[in-house]
């Protein structure tokens, strides 16, 4: 008997592979979420090699397509302010990868993250999760291990997930394609039927 977890992960794998196979451009839809001020648009601009000197809080959403390592990453960045969060759900459909950005220096807001609620959403069922522990350049930044502990990430069993330390300011650790690739590789390491 196989564990339900392995089966769920395998279903996730099959649906992503099916979608990639049907998309000649190898498009991946990425949903970028996180609280306001976490650094989402800064990360996205760095990925697109754009200037980050005039960044404003996002009132709605931004979409950017970034070509990377044979993948076309269509990234949807939705504003994280409290009043905008109820609209996040409008963007869940057809997500291949969820990236959740955390301001690692803002420890008092770790409790506010709303990540557990997201993972309960049916439309995000089995969607692989990449957590960016952003702002590692700040002196008070919590480490990825501290965030894993604080957000109980080890209890996530229904999907592939990974936490990555990064700084959107210095660009260290921000290369999404590497992580996307790693997540898919992880996926692929699970034997198929």
Ligand X SMILES: Nc1nc2c(ncn2[C@@H]2O[C@H](COP(=O)(O)OP(=O)(O)OP(=O)(O)O)[C@@H](O)[C@H]2O)c(=O)[nH]1
CA angle 6/9/13 to nearest 5° reads 130
Touching ligand X, residues 99-118 (CB under 6 A): 101
Cβ distance 105 to 191 under 8 Å?
no
Catalytic-residue membership of 67:
no
Taking CB within 5 to 8 Å according to partner kind, which of ligand X, Mg ion, none is near residue 75?
none
Beta bridge partners of 129: 98, 161
DSSP SS3 for 68:
strand
Is 80 annotated for ligand binding?
yes
Q: Looking at 17, 20, 126, 169, which residue binds ligand X (CB under 6 A)?
A: 169
Q: Looking at 9, 16, 39, 91, which residue binds ligand X (CB under 6 A)?
A: 39
Is 155 annotated for ligand binding?
no
Q: Are strands 71-78 and 61-68 parallel, antiparallel or unpaired?
A: antiparallel
Q: Looking at 58, 105, 150, 162, which residue binds Mg ion (CB under 5 A)?
A: 58
Using alpha carbons, select from 113, 74, 100 the residue that is nearest to residue 162: 100
Least distance to Mg ion, CB of residue 88, Å: 13
128 counts as binding ligand X under rule CB under 6 A: no
Catalytic residue (choose from 81, 162, 164, 175) = 81
68 counts as binding Mg ion under rule CB under 5 A: no
Give the Cα separation of 123 and 140 in Å (integer): 35
Catalytic positions are 81
């Amino acid at each position: 008997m196989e564990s339900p977890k392995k089966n769920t992960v395998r279903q996730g794998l099959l649906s992503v592979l099916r979608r990639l196979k049907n998309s000649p451009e190898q498009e991946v839809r990425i949903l970028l979420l996180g609280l306001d001020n976490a650094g989402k648009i800064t990360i996205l601009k760095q990925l697109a090699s754009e200037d980050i000197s005039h960044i404003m809080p996002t009132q709605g959403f931004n979409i950017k397509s970034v070509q990377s390592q044979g993948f076309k990453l269509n990234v949807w960045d939705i504003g994280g302010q409290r009043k905008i969060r109820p609209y996040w759900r409008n963007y869940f459909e057809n997500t291949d990868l969820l990236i959740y950005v955390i301001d690692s220096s803002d420890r008092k807001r770790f409790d506010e993250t709303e990540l557990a609620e997201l993972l309960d959403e049916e439309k995000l069922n089995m969607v692989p999760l990449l957590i960016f522990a952003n702002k590692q350049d700040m002196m008070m930044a919590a480490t990825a291990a501290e965030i894993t502990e604080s957000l109980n990430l080890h209890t996530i069993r229904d999907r592939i997930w990974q936490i990555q330390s990064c700084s959107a300011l210095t660009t260290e650790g921000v290369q999404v394609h590497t992580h996307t690739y790693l997540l898919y590789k992880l996926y692929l390491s699970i034997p198929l039927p």
